[in-house]
Structure 1
Amino acid sequence: MPKNTTARTKQRRSAAIAAAVAVAAILLGTVSYTATRPEARTDVADVSDQQADSTEANDELTDKLAKLARRDAKDPLAQGRADAPVVLIEYADFKCGYCGKFARDTEPDLVKKYVDDGTLRIEWRNFPIFGADSESAARGAWAAGQQGRFWQFHKAAYADGAKDKGFGADRLDALAREAGVKDLDRFRTDREGKAAQAAVKQDSGEAYALGATSTPSFLINGQPLAGAQPEAAFEQAIEAAKARSAKSGGGK
């Protein structure tokens, strides 16, 4: 292959990858992004090659994002089979009203329809973006998880009107009791400890690295989905991911 043709191919490929990353960032709620586009071309061969490069770049990006799924069977902030064909990663904040709407109105149906039958795994990522109260709630949720009560804490913290009561120390204790956390002294120690801080920082860093700046943000087998979308949007994305997994030999 001539050197100039090789250079053009590399340029197209780089541009396609950059565009795919920009698309992912937009879907995850970022406000600003930088995209590199190839020069306009008029010949059919170049257009066809550009489309192929773009598709391949998007596939590569999706595969890369899909690998963010931890699939740790002992992860207390996850539910569903570790080997489920579809993994939904949620980046959320307990002070976020739309996160609460998803938790109350959509997630329970997804659990019944897809988690319970082994199709879907849901992995939570703490992404506190609304200040100190958000950070406190994130650490409290993590601490509840250390005693196997994360999802119960999650339900209590996202109850209608719960976020308006704040997430001060006394309120976190009350939520822990409601969630069935047995050892409150350990809960308090855990939520104020370095391990909680590190875990929340890791989750937040992952979200920011993706370009997410709003909550809730989701990845479904690497495909970005932003906001508390209608339930049908999640079902469509899960079904599509399930079909792709089965086609690639990763289905049940």
Structure 2
Amino acid sequence: MPHNGQKPANAQKPANARKSANAQKSAPVGKTAHDRRKSRNLAIGAGVVIAAVLLGLASYTATKPEKSGGTTVTEAAEGGAPSADPQAGVYPELEKLARRDARDPLARGRADAPVVMVEYADFKCGFCGKFARDTEPALVKKYVDKGTLRIEWRNFPIFGEDSERAARGAWAAGEQGRFWQFHEAAYADGAKEKGFGADRLKELARQAGVKDVGRFVEDADSAAAKAAVKKDQEEAYGLGATSTPSFVINGRPVSGAQPDQVFEQTIEAAARSAKSAGGGAK
């Protein structure tokens, strides 16, 4: 059955993620500073809840059968191409997910690029690999290299211990400035079938050009690596993502390894919006 996103058979959001996505309650807006902050937090929470519903629908759509005639469902409301309105399906609260840290080794592109694509992915996910091999290189050449797009990676391991080890290994490679090289090696055709055991991770680190493999091994097993992966994972679950890959492009959720034109249209619409608003980084 054709599909373009991947999720574990028994994917369940952790209790704290479900709580964060559903615990928002309405409250009167007060006049005190405390009340104004509370009102703002509620507004952000409402936006995240809406996005969670949208990402949940997109995750389902990404794994449902094709329509008769072979056209995959990719309407805007389901995480596909944007409508004529560049702001349709955009949630300003989600734009705050972009970290725009110039020192982030798990990001590529200018920190002040007008468009930021946050990618939640798993190294055991076949469709993440398809996106990494077939779509992402063209996006880098067409948009990242020209300063339009920034890609920020988030580790979202959902397929068990192998996924967790690969995520920590990727983070450790980033500590030596070789994340994207590790990313390429781990997503090479047939790479995931070899698994991500300790020896395999060291092999990937060498392929990625990591200079100090001993330090890589220590970093991958460190509390810092585990905390960084957990932070990204909880962020994804909090948004309602249940399959990989999932994306947020300037506040617009997109789920699955969609066709190239879906990403191109979404990025270009976001770039036009950013230009009309007069900016890059916010």
Q: TM-score, normalised by structure 2?
A: 0.71
- In 2, the alpha carbon distance for the partners of 1:68 and 1:23 equals 17
Match of 2:168 in 1: 139
**Equivalent-residue separation in structure 2 for 1:224 and 1:77 (angstroms):** 20
Pick closer, same or farther for the CA change 1:22–1:214 going to 2, 3 Å: closer
> What residue in structure 1 maps to residue 251 of structure 2?
222
Classify the secondary structure of the residue corresponding to 2:228. Answer: helix
Give 1:24's aligned amino acid.
L
Paired position in structure 2 for 1:212: 241
| Match 2:263 to one of 226, 234, 237 | 234
Q: CA separation of 1:246/1:191 partners in 2, compared to 1, >3 Å: closer, same or farther?
A: same
Give 1:76's aligned residue.
Answer: 105
Q: 175, 186, 191: which is aligned to 2:204?
A: 175
Measured after TM superposition, the shift of residue 24 of structure 1 is: 2.6
Task: Show structure 2 runs of 5+ residues with no match.
Answer: 1-42, 62-84
Query: What secondary structure, in the 3-state scheme, does the structure 2 residue paired with 1:67 have?
Result: helix
Alpha-carbon offset, residue 146 of structure 1: 0.1
Counterpart position of 2:76:
none
**Structure with greater helix percent:** 1
Q: How does 1:84-103 map to 2 (within 5 A)?
A: 84-103=113-132
1:26 to partner: Cα distance? 2.8
Q: What is aligned with 1:26?
A: 56
Larger Rg: 1
Size of the aligned set, in residue pairs, is 213
**Within-5 A mapping of 1:42-191:** 62-191=91-220
Which residue in 2 is equivalent to 1:43? none
Rounded to whole Å, the distance in 2 between the matches of 1:193 and 1:18 is 31
Aligned equivalents of 1:68, 1:242: Cα separation in 2:
17
CA contact 2:163–2:196 (8 Å) conserved in 1: yes
1:67 maps to a residue whose letter is: K
Contact 2:48–2:93 (Cα < 8 Å) also in 1 = no
Per-residue CA deviation, residues 174-200 of structure 1 (Å, 9 max, x unaligned), is 000000000011100000000000000
Asked if the contact 1:28–1:214 (Cα under 8 Å) also holds between the matched residues in 2, the reply is no
CA contact 2:56–2:242 (8 Å) conserved in 1: no
| 2:269 alignment partner AA | A
Question: What per-residue deviation string (whole Å, max 9, x for no partner) do you get for residues 214-252 of structure 1?
Answer: 000000001000000000000000000001111111159
Q: Give how far 1:19 is off.
A: 8.1
Structure 1 vs Structure 2: percent identity of aligned residues? 69
Secondary structure at 1:88's aligned position in 2?
Answer: strand
Deviation readout 1:38-91 (Å, 9 max, x if unpaired): xxxxxxxxxxxxxxxxx9x978x7111011100000000000000000000000
**1:182–1:221 CA distance, 2 compared to 1 (3 A):** same
- Quick check: 1:149–1:181 contact (8 Å CA) kept in 2? yes
- How far off is 1:147 after superposition? 0.0
Q: Secondary structure at the match of 1:75?
A: coil
Letter in 2 for 1:93: D
**Conserved 8 A contact 1:30-1:212:** no
The 1:18/1:176 distance shift into structure 2, 3 A limit, reads closer
Partner of 2:223: 194
Distance 2:125 2:277 in 1: 36
Q: 1:111 is matched by which residue type in structure 2?
A: V
Which secondary structure does the structure 2 equivalent of 1:29 belong to? helix
TM-score (norm 1): 0.80
Question: Is the Cα contact below 8 Å between 1:28 and 1:211 reproduced in 2?
Answer: no
1:243 aligns with 2:272: yes
Give the secondary-structure state (helix, strand or coil) at the position aligned to 1:98: helix
RMSD: 2.3
